[in-house]
Structure formats: C-alpha cells, structure tokens
Amino acid sequence: MNNLAYKHETFRDDYTYRNSPDAIRRFPFPFAEDHYMYSVNIEQHQPGAKGSIVEHAFDIDEHYVSECEDKLITLGQDKGRYAALPHMMDAQWDFLELSMESLSRDYPHLFTLTKDGERWTWRNGPLGIEDSFVFGDAATLPLEPFEYMGRQVQGDFVLLDQREGTLFADAGFITSQADWSLAFDVGMSWHEWHGPVPQVEKMGIMDRALKFLMSLQQGNPVRRLNWTMTINPRLDTSPEHFPEWGPDKLKVTAQNAGEKAHLRVELQTMFRLPRSNAILFSIRCYLISLEELATYPRWAKRFHRVLRDLHPDLLEYKGIKVYHEAVLAWLSQHDDGAELALGAHPE
Amino acid sequence: MSALNVIVSNIELVADGIRHFTFIAADGGELPGFSGGSHVVVSMPAGNRTYRNAYSLLSSPADRSNYQIAVRLQEQSRGGSRFMHEQVKVGTRLDISWPVNLFPISRVGHQHILVAGGIGITPFMSQVHDLLRTGAGFELHYAFRSPRHAGFIDQLKQLLGNKLVCHDQSQGQILDLHALLSRQPLGTHVYVCGPDGMVDALIATAHELGWPDAHIHNEEFLAPPVGEPFTIRLRQSQKNVDVGAEVSMLEAMEAAGVDVPYLCRGGACGRCELEVLATDGVIEHHDHYLSDAEKGAGKKIMPCVSRAKCSFIELNL
C-alpha cells in the first residue's frame, strides 16, 4: 500500500471502524476448509504477494494512525499493558532495531532511519515523530525502546526469553488482546500461559510448537494465523476492561449480527532476535464485520460452516457460545450449501 | 535456509594447530548481530561433497563488521578442519549459516562461572564481551596443556584482568572443580566447554554438590541432518529420486520437480508427512512431529528433516 489514506475512526464508544473494499479484499481469511481444529499451522514468514498482509515483515495499513491512537488511550487507562523485566533490555533494543529497519526499508515514504555510528535518527511521518538517540543508551529515548516502538507499530508484542528448556514471556506491549492479561502472564513459561487452551494437551501441539520455536533461527522468521470473534470492532478486549465490552455479547441478534459480530484474525509472527537470543512474538489483529465478510459469498458460506460445526470446547474458549445462535442465523441466509473448493481466497 | 556469503579477510596461527579466521560480508555490508555463545555452520565444498562444521563466533557481538572463528586441526579430521587449514586462503569465499545460539548466558543469573578446556575457549570469547557489557559477575577459568596451546591468552588477560584464572597443566596447575564449585554462592550458573572428560567431570561434580540442572550449561552444536546418499522410489509418480549426503529428502524431491507440500521445513508442523511403503534400511527420524510410537512403526516420515540409512526408500507419492 503506497498511498495510505489514513482513516479517522474509533475502536471504542461509537465504533466508527470500517474496512475499505481494498482492506476487505486483503483480509486474512483463515479458513481453507469447512471444518476447523487447531493445528501447528506455522509457515516461513517470507515476503508474500504484493499488496497482501504478508508483503512486508510488519503490515502497515489504512487503520495505522487510528490504531496507534487507540493504543495510547488503552495505555493511558492502564499502565500495566506495557511491562518488561530488567533482563530484557537487550531484547528491547533488538525490537527497536528490527522494527525501525523493517519499516524504513518497506515503507520508505512513511518512515526513515538514518545512522551515524550509534547516533540514530528516526522519523515517523504518519504520526509526526522525530527523535535522535544513541543506540543502546535508553536514557537518550523518551521511553524505554520497546515501549517507544511498540506505540508506533500496529499489533501487540511479546518478548520471550529462552532458558531452562522453555520460553518465558518476560516483556510485553499488549493493547489489543483477545481476552488475556499481560499483568497476569508476564514472567510465565510456555506451558503456564497456554494452560487454559482446551483440547490441545492430548494433541501434544504445545510441546511440538515449543520445540519448533526453541529452534527458530535468525533470518528465518515464521508466521501463523489464529482467530476468534469480537462484538463491535474493539481492539482492547482485555479481561481488565471486561465490563466495557463483555455485556455487548448479550446484545447480538439475528438482525444485527452482520454489523455487530466481527471475525478477529491474528497474524502471529515470530522472529529470533540477534543480541538477546530472545524471540519476538508479534500479534497483529485484523477485524472484519460479517457484513463486510459477506461481500465475498464464499467467505460467508465457509465461515457459516466452520462456526456451525465448531467443537463445543472451542466455542466456550473463544467466548462465542452466548451469541452463537444469532450469528449462525445471520450467516445461514448467505449459505446455499454449494460445495466450496479448498482455499481461503475471496473469489 | 538462507546462507550468508562471506570472504576470508585474515588468517593467523594463534596456538599449536589452531588457526584463526576472519570473515567479512561478501557484499561489503554489515553481518547480522548475534549473542554471546553463538556459532555458525561453515559449508566447505571439497570435491563432490560438502562438509558442514559448526564453529563458535569469537568476536564482540557489538562488532558487525566481521566474524571470527578458530579451527583446530583434528587428528582424525573427517575433512572439515583439514579443509579449513589447507584449502582456505585469504580471499576464499565461503557460505556460512546465520548465527545460532545453543549456549547462551542465562540473563536472569547474577554470578557466572565459565570453564574452558583448550580449544573449548572459543564460545566464551564472545560471551565475555556480553558479560562485561551487562556488568554481571563472572570468572573465566581457562585450563590448557601449556602456554603454546593457550590460544587468545594475551587478548583475554588484557580484556578480563583478574576475572581470568589460568590453569596451566605444564606448570602443574590442575583445575580443582570440586573446590571451585563448592565456594560459589547459591544461584550461580556454571558453563563448560572442553574435552568430553572435563565436561562430564564438571557436570558430575555439580550434581554431587546439588546444583540444579537449569544452572549447569554445556555447549551443544546443532548437528545438520546429513547422512549417506540413498534413492527415493515414488510409487504413484513412478519416479526415482537420488538423495545426496548433504541435501534433505524434501530438497532432493523439489530439485527433481516433485511437488511435495511443506510449511515449516523444520520438522514441527507435520505438513510434509509422507507414507513409507518400503525400505531396505532404517529411517532416521529428526522431526518433533511424529510420536515415538509412530517413529518406531516406520510407516511415516517427515522429509524436510528426516532421512534413511538405506539404499532405497519407497514413498506413497
């Protein structure tokens, strides 16, 4: 996307967030088949098709400015959305370097980075930020390096320290989480923070995914898609703010589901970081209303079938159960039962 | 897996039988950053086969202008160290892997004891730079046969001062592991790299003294899954594909124009799983995907990382 017309929109209160036809077309619809169950759906994070969400290391889209503004609102209400344990300072600089180098390389008309030895100057056009600092000296930045760049890249970020045969979530910048808490999870090991996920233990998926991530190598980042649903286009669906968004689940009807119910897809990318040997886990959230989704009929049909046949444990875990009937009723109008070819493409 | 292309810019003899190589990026730019304790895998094309050996990076991780490795000529060299000593000159181009760290310093530790025997000094060369930078407490114990076997000793003395403790066997200075480990405060981490006997003795001593496993570290290299050449017979497409010693089954099939599904290429996702119909040898499973029972049954294989010790293996593809 070369000429982004940034939209002024909200992810709370009046919820003016909408997707343009372009944004709908590039939406990362995650279902290639009519049935869904967890799998280790990891692939290499190599540059994808031009204009797609995986064209670049980090995707910047038409929601960039509004999403960064929403991050600041959430952070202002709750400082605990950013946390970094003291031993993660090298990983913080790794994150700053990776994000600045990627954005300035992939979107040179929006972001520039100039280096004069350790003296770096960063310019962020869309947000109107310009700072010079000494790489490695946190006192020369207005914020800690991880928080500084976490505010300027869409998505959430976790830095994982690798030790004792597992991974520890020892730093995070989390303002658009699908109902999990950084304050609760920070410092936890892999198996501790995945404890609540149903149906995976017996499949051994978490063990396999952990082994795979522990051998993740620099220069070979990987990605996967995950999904859930959210009522209203809200990024901050945190347990801390449940009273602000939880009750909306009860207001979904077969009539308003098309507008209220959103498919929430996370593009999760994982990078091995150089100085710290930590892993960056980035979670980039894409929201689309059922109405927007249904502009491509095969997506509406397929999503109807996936939701209809989803395992009850997953309906419960993803918090869909309470409005499941209403959403199915809305989607069923768009499903004529025709057989769909494999693949998640829109047309 | 993408490789880094480098040029040898300097070679020095630093101790008896130990050569020190400096690499710079072939494109003249910066090399990727790395963390203390990292190694690279150097590919050495020797005739019609390629050796791949892992060597620790010696330089300061803060310096991205070059990488440095040290290679000791092994008496029973399979070819790798001999190639580095005899074939590689200043100006030689080599492919190396991106840095991998399987021997990191624990970032939550406050006190670290590093124990090196001979050429085992190499992974500590980069670690001491990280430790000096972060200000963590540490001591480096360097045991060697004699001063002429003690590579990098002058450099280390200058860098570390009294944090370096030398144990020169030719002077009768024997490293007393029991005494060393006994006097450390609770929570200390110990790291060892050297001859097998030294590593085993240190681990046994630490266990005897009740050190937790998470505080005892020894270097492991990622062994590239290479083996002997063999042939894949594809039942459905009626094709034979030869797998060379240095390529994976997946790479060999791709090179032969066979369409094999894959995702992670790391033995975790399960996407490239193939059904084994027959083989006259044994499957060498290197993946994390199949269960032990499935591996034992020998009916499935992950061709991205696994291979077989056989003359042929027949797949249902």
Q: What is the per-residue pLDDT across B118-174, written as a single tens digit (0 to 9) for each?
A: 999 999 999 999 999 999 999 999 999 999 999 999 999 999 999 999 999 999 999
How far apart, in Å, are the Cα atoms of B90 and each of A72, B12, B84? Answer: 54, 10, 11
With bands split at pLDDT 50, 70 and 90, how would you rate the model's confidence at B291?
confident
The β-bridge relationship of strands A166-173 and A156-163 is: antiparallel
pLDDT tens-digit readout, A157-169: 999 999 988 899 9
Residue B87 pLDDT > 70, yes or no? yes
The per-residue pLDDT for range A47-103, each reduced to its tens digit, is 999 999 999 999 999 999 999 999 999 999 999 999 999 999 999 999 999 999 999
Q: Supply A197's token pair.
A: 């996920």
**Mean pLDDT along residues B35-49:** 84
Give the pLDDT score at A201: 59
pLDDT at residue B95 tops 70: yes
C-alpha gyration radius of chain B = 22
**pLDDT at residue A4 in the model:** 59
What per-residue confidence (pLDDT) applies to A200? 58
CA distance A257 to B77: 70
For position A211, what pLDDT does the model report? 78
Residue in A with minimal Cα distance to B222: A215
pLDDT of residue A203: 56
Instruction: Tell me the C-alpha distance between B80 and A222, whole Å.
Output: 31
- Which residue out of A18, A25, A224, A298 is catalytically annotated? A224
B41 neighbourhood in chain A, CB within 8 Å: none
CB contact under 8 A, B34 and A42: no
Per-residue pLDDT of B248-277, as tens digits, reads 899 889 888 898 887 777 777 777 899 999
The nearest alpha carbon in chain A to B126 belongs to A275
Q: Residue A208: its pLDDT value, please?
A: 76
Question: Could you give the domains of chain B?
Answer: 4-96 (2.40.30.10), 111-218 (3.40.50.80), 230-315 (3.10.20.30)
Tell me whether residues B98 and A220 touch, CB distance under 8 A: yes
Asked whether the predicted pLDDT for residue A42 surpasses 80, the reply is yes
The answer on pLDDT for A257 being more than 80 is: yes
Which residues of chain A approach chain B closer than 8 Å at the C-beta? 39-44, 87-88, 90, 94, 97, 161-165, 204, 207-209, 211-212, 215, 217-220, 222, 274-277
DSSP percent split of chain A into helix, strand, coil, nearest 5: 35, 20, 45
pLDDT at A28 over 80: yes
Cβ-Cβ contacts under 8 Å, A39 against chain B: 269-270
> C-alpha angle with apex A224: B294 to A196, nearest 5 degrees?
75
Task: Please state, in angstroms and rounded to a whole number, the distance separating the CA atoms of residues A140 and B311.
Answer: 63
CB atoms within 10 A of CB B154: 10
B148/chain A closest Cα distance in angstroms: 33
DSSP, res B105: P
Neighbours of A343 (CB within 10 A): 12
Summarised one tens digit per residue, pLDDT across range B189-231 is 999 999 889 999 999 999 999 999 999 998 865 544 668 899 9
Distance of residue A119 Cα from the nearest chain B Cα, in angstroms = 15
User: What is the CB neighbour count within 10 angstroms for residue A317?
Assistant: 16
Q: Is there a contact between B96 and B43 (Cβ–Cβ < 8 Å)? A: yes
**The residue type at A21:** P
Rounded to a whole number of angstroms, the distance from the CA of A223 to the nearest CA of chain B is 9
- Residue A267 has, within 13 A of its CA and on its CB side, a CA count of 22
Residue in A with minimal Cα distance to B37: A277
Shortest distance between the Cα of A322 and any Cα of chain B, in A, equals 33
Q: Which amino acid appears at position A86 of this protein?
A: P
Q: What number of other Cβ atoms are within 10 A of residue A144's Cβ?
A: 19
Contact across the interface for B98 and A43, Cβ inside 8 Å:
no
Element (H, E) at A270: strand A261-272
Span A265-291, average pLDDT = 96
Report how many Cβ contacts below 8 Å link chain A to chain B.
85
Please give the Cα distance from B226 to B223 (Å, whole number).
8
Query: Which stretch of A131-145, A168-182, A326-340, B17-31 has the lowest confidence by average pLDDT?
Result: A168-182
* DSSP structure string for B122-150: HHHHHHHHHHHHHT-EEEEEEEESSGGG-
Predicted confidence at residue A1, as pLDDT, reads 44
| Percent of chain B predicted with pLDDT > 90 | 71
Q: What token pair was written down for B267? A: 């033995």
B189-193/B111-117 β-pairing:
parallel
Instruction: Tell me the average pLDDT across B71-92.
Output: 85
ipTM of this complex: 0.84
Measured distance CA(B178)–CA(B208) in Å, rounded: 9
Q: Residue A286: in which H helix or E strand, if any?
A: strand A279-289
Q: What is the largest CA-CA distance in chain B?
A: 69
Instruction: Test A41 with B266 for CB contact under 8 angstroms.
Output: no
Beta bridge mates, B285 = none
Rounded CA separation A43/B269 (Å): 8
Residue type, A117: G
Q: How high does pLDDT run on average in chain A? A: 92
A119 is catalytic: no
